């Protein structure tokens, strides 16, 4: 009988790549950027988004950038963002601020079929707030219904650095649609292009995500209702010869009326590793 781990490697189309990635991650071999490019880090989608946001900020002459996670739950995502932030700050002269949004009480009651109640139920992913606060080093958590907390974010954190990365793990259509309204704020609160990760847009045969429910519906409606802000898939990742599942969860928010949207960011820094 083949061990499950070995079977999972051999059943992949690129087993040697999977094995190399496993070894580099667990033995901490190679530079951070090499490991990130290969996916040999925890949550490579978090590292990719945060690194690219910091690199864009640097090229625009901005020395601070913010990242926000919607749907903190147990807090592993925020803890992972902190780890990536320390690595990236050692490479680029950009400071990274991290914020998390969560109700603190788990998921609310599904509102209708668009929230996919056949998959998600009230109370899922409840947070142990006190324990998480003890573990966090720099991330700040805002608790409460997402409809309320997002609308007051820029009042509460009036000195927050421009947002360069957003991570959506709210599951529901209604909650995701509410969180996306944050993008309607003054474009100068953001980088001109913001890296966005949507956790619940692919799934499997149980979820059967579609363009008519859940996060995908929230994305589609946002694009339909906004002229000067658009969310687009990250095509350069999708065009890679060896695709990873998380590539399909990456989107870019384009702020066409941002004062720096057209600022040239050409490759003056060829020595920087491009992901």
Beta strands in the chain (DSSP E): 64-70, 95-102, 140-143, 163-168, 190-198, 229-233, 250-255
Q: What is the mean pLDDT of residues 67-78?
A: 93
Q: Model's pTM, two decimal places?
A: 0.90
| Interatomic CA distance for residues 193 and 56, integer angstroms | 8
Of 50, 44, 45, the residue nearest 82 (C-alpha): 50
Domains of the chain as residue ranges with CATH:
12-41 (no CATH), 44-255 (3.40.50.150)
Mean per-residue pLDDT of the chain = 90
pLDDT tens, residue by residue, 88-102: 999 999 999 999 999
| Residue 114 to residue 92: CA distance in whole angstroms | 41
| CA 49, chain centre distance (Å) | 6
Q: Tell me: the pLDDT tens digits for 214-251? A: 999 999 999 999 999 999 999 999 999 888 899 999 99
Q: Are 153 and 142 in contact (CB under 8 A)?
A: yes
């Amino acid at each position: 009988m083949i061990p499950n781990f070995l079977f999972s490697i051999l059943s992949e189309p690129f087993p040697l790549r999977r094995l190399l990635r496993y070894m580099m991650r667990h033995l901490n071999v190679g530079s951070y950027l090499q490991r990130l490019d290969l996916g040999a880090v925890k949550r490579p989608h978090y590292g990719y988004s945060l690194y690219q946001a910091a690199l864009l900020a640097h090229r625009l002459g901005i020395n601070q950038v913010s990242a926000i996670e919607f749907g903190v739950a147990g807090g592993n995502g925020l803890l992972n963002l902190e780890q990536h932030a320390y690595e990236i700050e050692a490479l680029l002269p950009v400071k990274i601020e991290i914020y998390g949004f969560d109700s603190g009480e788990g998921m609310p009651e599904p509102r209708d079929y668009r929230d996919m109640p056949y998959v998600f139920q009230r109370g899922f992913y409840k947070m142990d707030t006190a324990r998480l606060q003890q573990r966090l080093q720099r991330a700040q958590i805002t608790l409460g219904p997402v409809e309320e907390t997002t609308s007051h974010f820029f009042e509460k954190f009036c000195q927050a650095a421009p947002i360069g990365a957003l991570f959506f793990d709210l599951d529901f259509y209604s909650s995701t649609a509410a969180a996306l309204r944050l993008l309607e704020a003054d474009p100068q609160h953001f980088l001109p292009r913001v890296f966005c990760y949507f956790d619940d847009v692919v799934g499997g045969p149980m979820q059967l995500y579609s363009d008519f429910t859940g996060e995908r519906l929230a994305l589609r409606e946002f694009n339909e209702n906004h002229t000067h802000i658009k969310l687009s898939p990250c095509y350069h990742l999708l065009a890679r010869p060896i695709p990873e599942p998380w590539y399909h969860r990456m989107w870019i928010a384009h702020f066409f009326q941002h004062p720096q949207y057209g600022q040239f960011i050409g490759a003056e820094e060829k020595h920087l590793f491009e992901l």
